[in-house]
Amino acid sequence: MRRERNERASLYSEVTKRIIAELEEGQLPWVQPWDRAACGCTMPHNAETGRKYGGINVLILWAEVVAGGYASQRWLTYRQAEAAGGNVRRGERGTVICYADRFTPRAEVETAKADDRAARRVAFLKRFVVFNVDQCEGLPADYTASMASPEPVVAVAEADRLIAACGARVQIGGDEAFYGPPHDFVQVPPQAAFHQPIDWYRTALHELGHWTGHPSRLDRNQSGGFGSESYAKEELVAEMAAAFTCASLGITPTVRHSDYIASWLSVLRDDERAIFRAASLASKASDYLLALAGDAP
């Protein structure tokens, strides 16, 4: 048990330190310089199951795609590569990702019964090592086929469909983009106010990320005022939710609130689990929007 706790703490620390270092350099882990990678912008997924990775694993795998210059966002475990008829090339280094969940120990169930209370669930974090398909050989052709990036026109059409299908009240106008929790609406300036039309969609998806946090939806804490820790945490969630949704639609993520970097750094330095929680909430927000549009994985 102590070893598991130490490994869990180590993983939290390793990932958080890496993200803090990137933020200190003015780089945002959820806004990748995709021209440094051979592939286009999309969500990382398992090559065997097709399932998208979520939460903190998105940031980890995006960073590895850029660092390795890989042409694919497809990943496999060592055993999956072998089961598919291929293998990981000798000398290749895997990428550590994690699976977080909660479970109820048997002893806790018995104790709770004796004490006439609800059993407490215990958090656990399990490590996995995955390899990009570019690090493998002998895989079936459909594992290694080039990943086609959606055409910009198609990506925008999908974004329009999501915005219409989600049911949010979106008001076009004014000179500010924001989500108003009390009246539950999103405001975005007209597209003509943006230097690039695509920036309108990135901004709208950021505000819709906030919209998912309403008590009637995913019920996140949105009570903090500007400059507060809870405000910074909610902005972090919305930023990543927009990035994940953009990537799912084929729209390259960008940052809209880079002036919040200092407050995000403060949050991450105070709590090395904060980025894990924020990334998890962002995945849930993005999946919520995509499900409303019928694009859920």
Answer whether residue 205 is part of any domain: yes
Same domain? 43 vs 140: yes
Q: Write down the pLDDT at residue 297.
A: 44
Please tell me the pTM assigned to this model: 0.88
Beta carbons of 201 and 152 less than 8 angstroms apart: no
For helices 229-249 and 197-211, angle between their N-to-C axes, nearest 10 degrees: 130
Mean pLDDT of the chain: 89
The number of folded domains in the chain is 2
In the chain, which stretches have pLDDT less than 50? 296-297
Beta carbons of 263 and 227 less than 8 angstroms apart: yes
270-274 long-range contacts (CB < 8 A, ≥24 apart) are: 270/229, 272/12, 272/13, 272/16, 272/17, 273/12, 273/16, 274/16, 274/233, 274/236
Same domain? 174 vs 226: yes
Same domain? 279 vs 180: yes
Answer whether residue 207 is part of any domain: yes
50: helix, coil or strand? coil
Supply the range of the domain harboring residue 206: 152-292
Q: Write down the pLDDT at residue 294.
A: 82
C-alpha distances (whole Å) from 231 to each of 22, 223, 227, 264 are 21, 8, 6, 10
Q: Write down the pLDDT at residue 258.
A: 60
Answer whether residue 26 is part of any domain: no
Q: What is the pLDDT of residues 133-188, one digit of tens each?
A: 999 999 999 999 887 766 778 889 999 999 999 999 999 999 999 999 999 999 99
Last residue of a domain, one of 114, 144, 174: 144
